[in-house]
Amino acid sequence: MTKSNCIMTCEINMAEYAHLFTYEAVGEDSCAVTGYHGSETASLLIPSADPEGRTVVAIGDRAFSGCSFLRAVTLPDSVESVGRRAFAFCANLLDIRTSPESRLSSVGDRAFMGCERLTVLRFGRLHSLTSFGRSVFAYCTRLRSVVLPEGMTELAPALFEGCAALEQIHRPESLTASRTAAVSACKSLRVLTLPASLRVIEDCAFAWCGHLTDLRLPESPCVISGSAFMECYALEDVLKVG
């Protein structure tokens, strides 16, 4: 998802250290990682299986919430879901790593909320990732650039709310809806081009984006809430099309 050259990592071999994580069964042969009780490390490589040989298919709710020591995390290809608040308020998290073979398909509510050192997110190569919960990246205040996955159909409620440094959003052509407050209070966002596939823009979806000056709406029919661009004072022509 992200790539950073400024992290000094101290990755450990999870085949040897899988016992430092805690797990919970989710099926006969599968489990979720629910926490970590090893000594502090800058970078964690989540194991693909627990000590009993069960495949890790999920990161549990709040599994790493508030882990201030965490600077980078690598998810194994076997992980299909990241739970609610799984990495919320990891104040020093800089890098989230996956491979093109990742099976990740959903990310739960507030999973990375308040990770204030994240700066770039690249999801484009994750073709299985189609679902984000509410406020997944809300108040990631240094987040500057996002590439959303192809195949994604909606911007979830408050997905990037309060991402004050956000300047660029590469959105997929499959996008059909922008939900309530999805990209609200993104004060650095200046240019926004919405795809032709978009059909619904809900309340406050892009509200309080005070520096938004260039908005291009889809030519096709689209239902736009009256408050969708509330207090976007720099906009001179909200109905610019093309």
* Band (18; pLDDT cuts 50, 70, 90): confident
- Take residue 66 and report the two structure tokens written for it: 């508030």
- The pLDDT value recorded for residue 8 is 37
| pTM for the structure as a whole | 0.90
**b/e map 156-172, b = 16+ CB within 10 Å:** bbbbbbbbebbeebebb
CB atoms within 10 A of CB 92: 15
Mean pLDDT, range 134-143, rounded to an integer = 98
Domain regions of the chain by residue span? 1-117, 153-242
- Of the listed ranges 6-15, 27-36, 196-205, the least confidently predicted one is 6-15
pLDDT at 236: 66
What is the C-alpha separation between 223 and 23, in angstroms, rounded? 45
Higher-pLDDT residue of 59 and 125 is 59
**pLDDT class for 238, splitting at 50, 70, 90?**
low
Single-letter code of the amino acid located at 46: I
Token duo for residue 132 = 């984000």
pLDDT of amino acid 190: 95
Spatial distance between the Cα atoms of 103 and 231, rounded to a whole number of angstroms: 39
pLDDT of 161 over the 50 cut: yes
Instruction: Report the side by side order of strands in the sheet with 106-107.
Output: 21-25, 30-36, 55-59, 81-82, 106-107, 131-132
CATH 3.80.10.10 is held by the domain 1-117: yes
What average pLDDT is seen over the chain?
A: 89
Distance CA(206)–CA(179), nearest Å, equals: 9
Predicted confidence (pLDDT) at residue 12 exceeds the cutoff of 70 = no
Task: Note whether 181 and 158 are within 8 A (CB).
Answer: yes
pLDDT tens for 60-115 read 999 999 999 999 999 999 999 999 999 999 999 999 999 989 999 999 999 999 99
Q: What is the pLDDT of residues 208-232, one digit of tens each?
A: 999 999 999 888 889 999 999 999 9
> Exposed (0-12), middle (13-18) or buried (19+): which is 123, by Cβ within 10 Å?
buried
CA-CA-CA-CA torsion sign (169, 145, 191, 203): positive
- 62 vs 169: CA distance, rounded Å: 27
